[in-house]
């Protein structure tokens, strides 16, 4: 059913193409049905009498008819292919747009690997079915109906064979199709799995090699591969049943036609010629049913794929724009959390519990806490990568959930913990947040991010290539480029998630100094490990197991917050060691 919905929705814009396919296929099929008559005519009136003139004349007619038929068939294929491939393109486009609108949680629910399979492999399966429908499925029913019509007209009682044969056909095909569907459900999931294991192996290649785990990873892949092969095999073997069984039903029907036909001929109820004609039509139906079986073979997999596509398309992005979004922010540069709590879906314990703070333009809030305390989660609530489960996050005084998401994002400059870069050039990465930034602005941002020198030293400067994920620059360089990328945006609120971890202290200090004037107009939240780097923060928020255990200046916290004192002491001990 999901398949029909999908087909209806995404083929609708191409209904004129489909109508054209129908029209051209109709004419083409009728002409095909005409050909046997002309053939017979050539034999009966030409060849038998040795009338070569007649043969040439009717032969020319026959070639004329086939020529028209070929032209019509080609046109039908043209429109059919166009409709089917446009359908595929549009579904891929819709899927991609759907996923980019998803929240991070939504993407994780499906898994990136599965989403990737769905957008290419699954769409391909449905698209091929549409091609088959356009080329075969249109003419097959015409031929079946035509054949049936003539067969029944020839001899009614003998046509009763069809009353047995057709249900037998439907059943033999139906049984296979019903058993195929669960196999294909497994199959697509297992393709996802192969994709996932392979993807992990490529991303973790260094670690796998370092630990000499190629054989074990091979086994892990082997399991995924064997599972996929097993279902493919089961599906393949079920499909293998389809053609021979269809053939058998039809051949048995023709044997039955002769068997019962003979009795009727003997009884004088029927002419031999009629029986032979009946057989001809039976064979014609046979051919058409065979063609329809082609579609039946593809149907189950396409249906499973369509359901998987629909699942994505029907998923509302869990974080979406409000009905009447706030499109204008009155004040500029403040970031506030009011009694914010958050738990991941399915988790028992909340990751954040009743967190409140407010940072105004020109102020800096530092967040410290132990590993796993919830610092990254806290940062990700700002740009609505997740929505709070309690309380609210306000930017420039407006709840982020009331804002137009585009507007929200344009006001936030995020530097994530993992400084991910995209395939392209340094310039294209820096312009990620603001496409119209000038080269000068890029250099300014690089200057502040302490990245000017190494970019300038590259032979191609801003146009130097960046590989996927930024693997061809060092960790420290990647981090500085990620900072520069956020700076180019010139946002009101900066969120730095442990963004200086790969920098040495000297660079770190220079960067912070250079950052000061740039972020003076903005509200800044910094997640940090090293207390020395955040001493000048206006406020420091100490979180422990998701709870606020201290909020104040360095001096205040030294007095009031034991956890903070512990952190400071651990670092002093380290430095003094």
Q: Kindly identify the residues of this chain, within the stretch 546-565, that bind another protein according to CB under 8 A.
A: none
Please give the Cα distance from 512 to 504 (Å, whole number).
12
Minimum Å gap between C-beta 354 and another protein is 19
Q: Applying CB under 8 A, which of residues 145, 171, 505, 558 lies at the interface with another protein?
A: 505
Question: CB under 8 Å to 138, separation ≥6 — which residues?
Answer: 21, 22, 25, 26, 29, 76
Q: Does 247 bind another protein (CB under 8 A)?
A: yes
Region 265-284 residues binding another protein, contact defined as CB under 8 A: 265-266, 272, 275-276, 279
Q: Kindly indicate which of the ranges 144-152, 323-331, 352-360, 495-503 contains the residues binding another protein, using the contact rule CB under 8 A.
A: 495-503
Region 171-230 residues binding another protein, contact defined as CB under 8 A: 191, 194-196, 198-214, 216-218, 220-222, 225-226, 228-229
Please give the Cα distance from 463 to 460 (Å, whole number).
5
The answer to whether the beta carbons of residues 540 and 528 sit under 8 Å apart is: no
1 or 346: CB nearest another protein: 346
Q: Kindly indicate which of the ranges 12-20, 238-246, 304-312, 356-364 contains the residues binding another protein, using the contact rule CB under 8 A.
A: 238-246
Q: Residues touching another protein: how many (CB under 8 A)?
A: 196
Q: Does 542 bind another protein (CB under 8 A)?
A: no
Region 145-174 residues binding another protein, contact defined as CB under 8 A: none
Q: Applying CB under 8 A, which of residues 121, 280, 389, 560 lies at the interface with another protein?
A: 121
CB count within 10 Å of CB 117 equals 23
Q: Applying CB under 8 A, which of residues 328, 435, 436, 517 lies at the interface with another protein?
A: 435
Q: What are phi and psi of 111, to 5 degrees?
A: 90, 130
Closest by Cα among 533, 530, 525, 535 to 557: 535
Q: Pattern of binders to another protein over 468-487, x per CB under 8 A? A: xx-xxxxxxxx------x--
Contacts from 66-73 at CB under 8 Å and sequence distance 24+?
A: 66/31, 66/35, 68/31, 69/28, 69/31, 69/32, 69/35, 72/24, 72/25, 72/27, 72/28, 72/31, 73/24, 73/25, 73/28
Q: Pattern of binders to another protein over 284-323, x per CB under 8 A? A: ----------------------------------------
105 or 181: CB nearest another protein: 105
* Residue 137 DSSP code: I
Q: Does 344 bind another protein (CB under 8 A)?
A: yes
The answer to whether the beta carbons of residues 390 and 341 sit under 8 Å apart is: yes
> What does the buried/exposed string (b/e) look like for 454-489 if buried means 16 or more CB atoms within 10 Å of the residue's CB?
bbeeeeebbebebeeebeebeebbbbbbbbbbbbbb
Minimum Å gap between C-beta 561 and another protein is 14
Q: Applying CB under 8 A, which of residues 300, 333, 350, 433 lies at the interface with another protein?
A: 433
* Residue 159 DSSP code: G
Minimum Å gap between C-beta 458 and another protein is 5
Q: Kindly indicate which of the ranges 7-15, 114-122, 150-158, 393-401 contains the residues binding another protein, using the contact rule CB under 8 A.
A: 114-122
Please give the Cα distance from 13 to 84 (Å, whole number).
11
Minimum Å gap between C-beta 60 and another protein is 8
Region 54-93 residues binding another protein, contact defined as CB under 8 A: 54-56, 59, 62-63, 66-67, 69-70, 73-74, 77-78, 80-82, 84-86, 88-89, 92-93
Please give the Cα distance from 306 to 150 (Å, whole number).
37
- The CB-side HSE value for 362 (13 A sphere, CA atoms) comes to 1
């Amino acid at each position: 059913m999901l398949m029909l919905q999908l087909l209806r929705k995404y083929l609708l814009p191409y209904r004129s193409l489909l109508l054209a396919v129908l029209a051209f296929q109709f004419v083409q099929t009728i002409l095909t049905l005409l050909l046997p008559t002309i053939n017979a005519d050539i034999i009966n009136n030409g060849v038998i009498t040795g009338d070569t003139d007649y043969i040439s004349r009717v032969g020319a007619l026959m070639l004329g008819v086939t020529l028209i038929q070929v032209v019509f068939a080609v046109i039908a294929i043209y429109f059919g292919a166009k409709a089917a491939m446009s359908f595929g393109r549009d579904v891929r486009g819709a899927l991609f747009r759907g996923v980019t609108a998803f929240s991070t949680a939504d993407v994780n629910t499906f898994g990136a690997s599965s989403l990737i399979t769905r957008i290419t492999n699954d769409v391909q399966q449905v698209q091929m079915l549409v091609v088959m429908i356009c080329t075969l499925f249109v003419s097959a029913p015409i031929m079946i109906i035509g054949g049936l019509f003539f067969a029944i007209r020839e001899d009614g009682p003998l046509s009763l064979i069809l009353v047995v044969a057709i249900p037998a056909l439907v059943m033999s095909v139906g049984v296979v199709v019903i058993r195929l569907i669960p196999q294909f459900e497994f199959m697509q999931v297992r393709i996802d799995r192969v994709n996932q294991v392979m993807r992990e192996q490529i991303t973790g290649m260094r670690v796998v090699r370092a630990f000499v785990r190629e054989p074990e990873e091979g086994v892990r892949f082997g399991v995924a591969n064997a599972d996929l092969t097993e279902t493919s095999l089961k599906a393949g073997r079920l499909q293998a049943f389809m053609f021979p069984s269809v053939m058998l039903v039809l051949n048995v029907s023709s044997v039955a036609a002769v068997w019962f036909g003979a009795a009727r001929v003997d009884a004088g109820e029927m002419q031999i010629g009629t029986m032979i004609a009946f057989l001809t039509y039976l064979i014609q139906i046979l051919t058409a049913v065979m063609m329809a079986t082609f579609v039946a073979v593809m149907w189950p997999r396409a249906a499973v794929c369509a359901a998987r596509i629909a699942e994505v398309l029907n998923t509302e992005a869990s974080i979406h724009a409000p009905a009447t979004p706030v499109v204008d922010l009155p004040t500029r540069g403040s970031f506030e959390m009011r009694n914010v709590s958050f738990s991941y879906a399915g988790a028992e314990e909340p990751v954040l519990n009743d967190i409140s703070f407010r940072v105004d333009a020109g102020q800096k809030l530092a967040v410290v806490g132990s590993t796993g305390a919830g610092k990254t989660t806290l940062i990700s609530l700002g740009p609505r990568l997740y929505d709070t489960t309690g309380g609210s996050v306000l930017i420039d005084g407006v709840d982020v959930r009331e804002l137009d998401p585009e507007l929200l994002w344009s006001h936030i400059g995020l530097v994530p913990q993992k400084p991910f870069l995209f395939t392209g050039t340094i310039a294209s990465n820096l312009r990620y947040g603001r496409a119209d930034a000038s080269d000068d602005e890029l250099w300014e941002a690089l200057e502040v991010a302490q990245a000017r020198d190494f970019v300038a030293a590259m032979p191609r400067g801003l146009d130097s290539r960046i590989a996927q994920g930024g693997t061809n620059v060092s960790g420290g360089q990647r981090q500085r480029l990620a900072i520069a990328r956020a700076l180019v945006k010139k946002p009101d609120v900066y969120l730095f998630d442990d963004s200086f971890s790969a920098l040495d202290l000297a660079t770190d200090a220079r960067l912070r100094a250079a950052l000061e004037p740039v972020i003076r107009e903005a509200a800044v939240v910094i997640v940090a490990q090293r207390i020395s780097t955040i001493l000048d923060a206006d406020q420091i928020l100490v979180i422990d197991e998701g709870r606020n255990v201290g909020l104040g200046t360095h001096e205040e916290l030294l007095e009031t917050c034991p956890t903070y004192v512990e952190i400071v002491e651990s670092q002093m001990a380290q430095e003094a060691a």
